[in-house]
A and B are shown apart, each in its own frame.
Chain A
Amino acid sequence: MESWRSRTGTTLSNKKLLLRRAKASFRLYRQLIFISFFLLATVILVSLSSVQSPIIHKTRSLILSITTPVIQIVSMPFDLAKGMKNYMISWTDARRQSLALAEENKNLKAIIDSMENIKDENNELRKFLNVRATLPSSPITAKVLSYPGRPFIKSILINVGEEEGIHLQQVAIDDKGLIGRVITVGKSSAHILLLTDINSHVPIVVKDTETQGILSGSKNGLPLLRYVQAKLVHVGDVVETSGHGGIFPSHIPVGKISKIEGENIFVELFSDLENLSFVMLLEPLGQQ
Chain B
Amino acid sequence: MKLFLHQLNPLLILLLCDILDRIHIFRFLPWEPLLTLPLIYHWAIYRPELLSIFTLLILGVFDDAIGGGFLGQTSLMFLMLYAGVLLQKHHIKDARFSSIWKGFALFMLTAGVLEWVIAKSLYKQIVSLNIFIFQNLLAVLLYPWFNKLIKTLEKRN
The chain A residues found within 8 Å of chain B, CB to CB, are: 7, 24, 28, 31-32, 34-35, 38-39, 41-46, 48-50, 56, 59-60, 63-64, 67, 70-71, 74-75, 78, 145-153, 155, 157, 183-184, 191, 193, 198-199, 219-220, 274-275
Nearest A residue to B121, CB-CB: A46
Nearest A residue to B22, CB-CB: A146
Q: What is the minimal beta-carbon distance from A220 to any residue of chain B, in angstroms?
A: 8
Residue of A31, A46, A146, A157 touching B76 (CB-CB under 8 A)? A46
- Are B79 and A39 closer than 8 Å at their CB atoms? yes
- Are A152 and B127 closer than 8 Å at their CB atoms? yes
- Are A35 and B53 closer than 8 Å at their CB atoms? yes
Cα(A194)–Cα(B88), bound, Å: 40
Chain B 50-107 interface residues, beta-carbon cutoff 8 Å to A: 53-54, 56-57, 60-73, 75-76, 79-80, 82-83, 86-87, 90, 94
Give the total of B residues in contact with A, Cβ under 8 Å. Answer: 48
- Are B68 and A191 closer than 8 Å at their CB atoms? yes
Q: What is the minimal beta-carbon distance from A260 to any residue of chain B, in angstroms?
A: 21
Known: A32-B86, A46-B76, A60-B65. A151 touches B131 (CB 8 A): yes
Question: How many contacting A-B pairs (Cβ < 8 A)?
Answer: 135
Cα(A145)–Cα(B16), bound, Å: 14
> Which residues from chain A contact B86 at a C-beta distance below 8 Å?
28, 31-32, 35
- Are A71 and B66 closer than 8 Å at their CB atoms? yes
- Are A150 and B66 closer than 8 Å at their CB atoms? no
- Are A41 and B57 closer than 8 Å at their CB atoms? yes
Cα(A45)–Cα(B65), bound, Å: 12
Other contacts beyond A38-B57, A39-B76: 19, CB < 8 A = A38-B79, A42-B73, A42-B79, A46-B70, A49-B64, A71-B22, A71-B66, A145-B22, A145-B23, A146-B23, A146-B67, A147-B27, A151-B132, A152-B125, A152-B127, A155-B68, A198-B123, A219-B126, A275-B27
Residue of B22, B70, B79, B125 touching A149 (CB-CB under 8 A)? B22
B19 within 8 A of A: yes
Cα(A46)–Cα(B72), bound, Å: 5
Residue of B25, B68, B127, B135 touching A219 (CB-CB under 8 A)? B127
Nearest B residue to A39, CB-CB: B79
**CB-based closest 5 A-B pairs:** A45-B72, A146-B22, A155-B68, A63-B65, A49-B70
B128 within 8 A of A: yes
Cα(A67)–Cα(B21), bound, Å: 14
B13 within 8 A of A: no
B6 within 8 A of A: no
Cα(A117)–Cα(B143), bound, Å: 65
> Which residues from chain B contact A56 at a C-beta distance below 8 Å?
71
- Are A64 and B119 closer than 8 Å at their CB atoms? no
- Are B23 and A71 closer than 8 Å at their CB atoms? yes
- Are B57 and A42 closer than 8 Å at their CB atoms? yes
Residue of A48, A152, A183, A220 touching B119 (CB-CB under 8 A)? A152
> Which residues from chain A contact B19 at a C-beta distance below 8 Å?
67, 70-71, 74, 146
Q: What is the minimal beta-carbon distance from A3 to any residue of chain B, in angstroms?
A: 21
Between-chain CB contacts (< 8 Å), 7 pairs: A45-B61, A45-B75, A46-B72, A59-B71, A78-B23, A78-B25, A155-B68
> Which residues from chain A contact B54 at a C-beta distance below 8 Å?
38
Nearest A residue to B34, CB-CB: A149
- Are A50 and B122 closer than 8 Å at their CB atoms? yes
> Which residues from chain A contact B79 at a C-beta distance below 8 Å?
35, 38-39, 42
> Which residues from chain A contact B22 at a C-beta distance below 8 Å?
71, 145-147, 149, 157
Nearest B residue to A199, CB-CB: B123
Cα(A183)–Cα(B63), bound, Å: 17
Cα(A184)–Cα(B69), bound, Å: 11
- Are B21 and A149 closer than 8 Å at their CB atoms? yes
Cα(A150)–Cα(B67), bound, Å: 8
B20 within 8 A of A: yes
